[in-house]
Amino acid sequence: QFHKDGFLVLEQFFSAEECDSMRSQIQRIVAEMEVPPHCRTSFSTREEEQLQAQGSSDYFLTSGDKIRFFFEKGVLDEKGNFLIPKEKSVSKIGHALHAYDPVFKQITHSPKVQELGRKLGLERPVVVQSMYIFKSLIAVTPHQDATFLHTEPLGRILGFWIALEDATQENGCLWFIPGSHTNGITRRMVRAASGASTCVEFVGSEPAYNDNQFIPLPISKGGLILIHGEVVHKSELNSSESSRHAFTFHVMEAKGTTWSKENWLQPTPELPFPSLYT
């Protein structure tokens, strides 16, 4: 089913207790959050805003081996001070929770995740990045993860998306185009040449997708969605009163695979990509 559709829903993969432990841990992390005003970067999935907000920011480019905070639009004043309570201002926290936080590290490398990797035939999977996503108002435009995490050959990136609360059509569940992982990719986000006005740029363009092609994937708390690196997916804005927290991480099959030197995310001497298998 996964190879046919490019995604797979596994309900009740994690327990309610495991989900609650992640949410409690993130509350502690946000409570202790101290972000220098000049580093306060808002997160966006719109291409022009991505280039401006993230591309011009070393804070984003050097976040692969750190735990860093990315904020919703409009929650900071010109001086970088919060206009709303800071726990409601964060869009996502990334990109190395799996390496540096004990709770998220335990979830990422849990025996059932490792067993799932083996069932999928992964021989040398490594964890490349992780994110805690708060999902408030913004919609996430249609995209393929391999646009941002490029490998040679393609087909070596796998996303694990864990619902920490029920994800419904009202609060912004994921939508997918079944089978769209078989068509390659048409767009890449790459590091720009030195001296460019932004640190990253897009090569190629995202085609226009027909809304009718997408199917929604509502999923209950504790459910896991496996996401092929080239499957097209999106989420609509959260139009409900309820939040939709998720923890997601990406794995690469390292055997016979080259990680693109042009990717925004690069392994570092401090944090080479850790093996999924322990």
| Residues 228-260 pLDDT 10s | 999 999 999 898 988 899 999 999 999 999 999
Q: Judge whether 237 lies within some domain.
A: yes
* Residue 158, pLDDT above cutoff 80: yes
Q: What is the DSSP string of the chain?
A: -HHHHSEEEETT-S-HHHHHHHHHHHHHHHHT----GGG-EEP--SHHHIIIIITT-HHHHT-TTSEEEEE-TTSB-TTS-BSS-GGGTEEEEEE-HHHH-HHHHHHHT-HHHHHHHHHTT-SSEEEEEEEEE---S--EEEE-GGGTS-EESSS-EEEEEEESS-B-TTTT-EEE-TTGGGS--SEEEEEPPTT-SSSEEEEE-PPPPPGGG-EEE-B-TT-EEEEETT--EEE----SSS---EEEEEEEE-TT-EE-TTSS----SS-PPPBS--
Q: Which stretch of 36-45, 93-102, 158-167, 230-239 has the lowest confidence by average pLDDT?
A: 36-45
Q: Is residue 186 within 8 Å of residue 207, measured between CB atoms?
A: yes
Question: Dihedral sign, CA of 151, 7, 274, 61?
Answer: positive
Q: Is residue 177 within 8 Å of residue 169, measured between CB atoms?
A: no
Length of the chain: 278
The pLDDT assigned to 84 comes to 86
Q: Judge whether 264 lies within some domain.
A: no
Q: Judge whether 26 lies within some domain.
A: yes
For range 135-161, the mean pLDDT: 93
Number of domains, the chain: 1
* Residue 136, pLDDT above cutoff 80: no
Q: What is the domain-level CATH number for residue 53? A: 2.60.120.620
* Residue 270, pLDDT above cutoff 50: yes
Q: Which stretch of 159-163, 181-185, 195-199, 241-245 has the lowest confidence by average pLDDT?
A: 195-199
pTM over 0.85: yes
* Residue 56, pLDDT above cutoff 50: no
Q: Which is higher by pLDDT, 199 or 78? A: 199
Q: Judge whether 274 lies within some domain.
A: no
**Domain that residue 42 falls in:** 1-259
The pLDDT assigned to 54 comes to 55
Q: Judge whether 269 lies within some domain.
A: no
pLDDT more than 70, % of the chain: 93
Q: Judge whether 188 lies within some domain.
A: yes
For range 189-208, the mean pLDDT: 88
Q: Which is higher by pLDDT, 189 or 80? A: 189
Q: Judge whether 268 lies within some domain.
A: no
Q: C-alpha 189: how far from its chain's center?
A: 14
Pairing of the two strands 258-259 and 233-235:
unpaired
Token pair, residue 125, equals 């999977």
The pLDDT assigned to 88 comes to 83
Q: Which is higher by pLDDT, 54 or 80? A: 80
Q: Which is higher by pLDDT, 84 or 97? A: 97
Q: Is residue 263 within 8 Å of residue 149, measured between CB atoms?
A: yes
Q: Judge whether 164 lies within some domain.
A: yes
d(Cα 123, Cα 40) in Å, to the nearest integer? Answer: 39
The pLDDT assigned to 55 comes to 45
